[in-house]
Amino acid sequence: MNSVFPRKLWVYTINAMHSNRNSPIDLDGLVFDPLHALRVSKRVFCIAPLLEVLIYILRGALAASKTLLSQHILNNPLLPCEKNPAAPIYPNDQEREELKMALIITQESAAIQILLEAALLRNITEEDGHLAERKSRP
């Protein structure tokens, strides 16, 4: 099914893993903000196969977001201001490209940071569990 309807399957999977079922995520929301993929139940980060699926979806959502931003820049060319036709409303093309790249890098950095923190919390929880086991043994 992933080869036929990958994005639809991503949305179904994220909504199934989501801890708050009252506000389902749609495809546009996932592409617009790929970090929605990481707003899942904490249990997902503790189960390796589910985490692997989550990372796969996250990579796809980040790539789709990157494409969306590129298309947005192409579909919305610079327009001159009515008061001063020589001055563009938006920054020049180079600045727009730099802003796009900064947003993409920020999204990717935030995703990596969240995944690292989840892994760190998982390791701390596992270590606490092992310490509790050792203390309870005679």
pTM recorded for the entire structure: 0.77
76 and 136 Cβ atoms separated by less than 8 Å:
no
Backbone Cα Rg of the chain: 21
Please list, in sequence order, all residues whose beta carbon lies within 8 angstroms of the beta carbon of residue 39, skipping any fewer than 6 positions away: 18, 19, 20
pLDDT in tens, the chain (138 residues): 566 678 889 999 999 998 777 788 899 999 999 999 998 988 899 888 999 999 999 999 999 999 999 999 889 877 665 666 555 555 678 888 999 999 999 999 999 999 999 888 877 766 666 555 555 555
Look-up of token digits 């989501």: 18
